[in-house]
Copies of this chain bind each other. A is one copy, B any other.
Amino acid sequence: MSNERTEISSLGEFGLIDHLTQNNETKLASTILSVGDDAAVIDHFGKQTVITTDMLVEGIHFDLMYTPLKHLGYKSVVANLSDIYAMNALPTHVTLSIAFSNRFSLEAMDEFYEGVYAACEKYEVDLVGGDTTSSQKGFVISITAIGEVAPDKYVKRSTAQKGDLLCVSGFLGGAFLGLTILEREKRIFAETGSQPDLEDQAYIVGKLLKPEARKDIIEFFATSEITPTSMIDVSDGLSSETLHICKQSNLGCIIYEDKIPVHEEARQFAYKLELDPTACALSGGEDYELLFTLSQSDYDKILLNEQISVIGYMTEAEEGTHILTRGGNKHALVAQGWNHLKR
């Protein structure tokens, strides 16, 4: 962060909006009208429009003690884009509203927006609207992401079929372990004043602070002519998301513990903290990977993609939702979520 501090009140609301959007160039043909009017106008040229929204609250969803504002801006966008990809759609636009107290300077807002624009650039979406306002306390972010999909080609959570393969992209549990180390270092810093050395934990810290959405997987589906039978993004842990697919598709499932992809660095760090890596994957959140089901006949098409792991399969609802452990035990999946592990 630069050392300058410009009070936002010196610009006024419209001055602030002008300042924050001055370099906001639109890139897409579908952006007919962007910021600066009562509303933006989008033309998806016959495709269907996909829309999702999220609210992030300081002290609930993020801690500015260890979250650089630029990363926060980036992640806020990415988390929403992830929901659009999880529909097998491509994001095209975002709107961003923020409320912030006068403890934030213009330079702080600039940093936050740098991250927002970096994500828009990387994922090729246009920022087309928003709102900026005061808050009595803390920082609140609301993002709406819009995307497009060929008519009726979106993928829901409720359409998995019995016998389908249950698959996940990338690695799980990393973001939770990143959070764990940052929370630990925050405590140590508060008690002793000593600065953390996080070099050995670049992967897990990066996974928490600067996650990416799996655009590559959606592009792979398109080029490989794969349509998942159902899909969801992993924001609340593997258990919770798997149970959503099972419940909404009225099916059960079996997950094999030894097939759950956990990154080696995450696994080592979990052992160091005496945490179970599998529990971190099942109940840790914010990995922003894609969980999806595939017809068995598509198995050959994903075989060579190292970014996709088959972790189990779908069963009749009567068979329940289970994980088969390395030791050969069968446990019911429980959606404890992120908060449970934090305690």
Contact = CB atoms under 8 A, between A and B. Distances in A.
Question: Of A86, A89, A154, which is in contact with the most chain B CB atoms at under 10 Å from its CB?
Answer: A154
Interface of A: 32-33, 36-44, 46, 48-61, 83-84, 86-87, 89, 93, 95, 97-99, 128-131, 133-138, 140, 142, 144-147, 149, 151-152, 154, 156-158, 231-233, 248
A136 B60 contact: yes
A48 B38 contact: no
Given A49-B43, A156-B33, A233 B38 contact: yes
B136 A59 contact: yes
6 nearest CB pairs, A to B: A142-B142, A39-B52, A55-B97, A38-B86, A38-B83, A42-B49
A64 B39 CA distance: 28
Contact of A37 (B36, B42, B87): B87
A58 B144 contact: no
Contacts of A131: 53-55, 142
Contacts of A50: 39-42
How many copies of this kind of chain does the complex include?
2
Nearest to A87: B39
Contacts of A151: 43
A135 B59 CA distance: 8
Contacts of A146: 49, 51
Given A51-B129, A134-B57, A149 B41 contact: yes
Contacts of A58: 136
A215 to B, nearest CB: 15
17 contacts: A32-B154, A39-B52, A39-B83, A39-B84, A41-B51, A42-B51, A51-B128, A53-B144, A54-B131, A56-B133, A57-B133, A57-B134, A57-B135, A57-B136, A60-B134, A136-B138, A137-B137
A89 B83 CA distance: 27
A286 to B, nearest CB: 14
Contact of A144 (B98, B144, B154, B156): B144
Contacts of A142: 53, 55, 97, 131, 142
Contacts of A39: 50-52, 83-84, 86-87, 89, 145, 147
A84 B41 CA distance: 10
Contacts of A32: 48, 152, 154
Contacts of A83: 38-39
Given A37-B156, A137-B138, A140-B140, A48 B42 contact: yes
Given A38-B233, A60-B135, A137-B137, A48 B52 contact: no
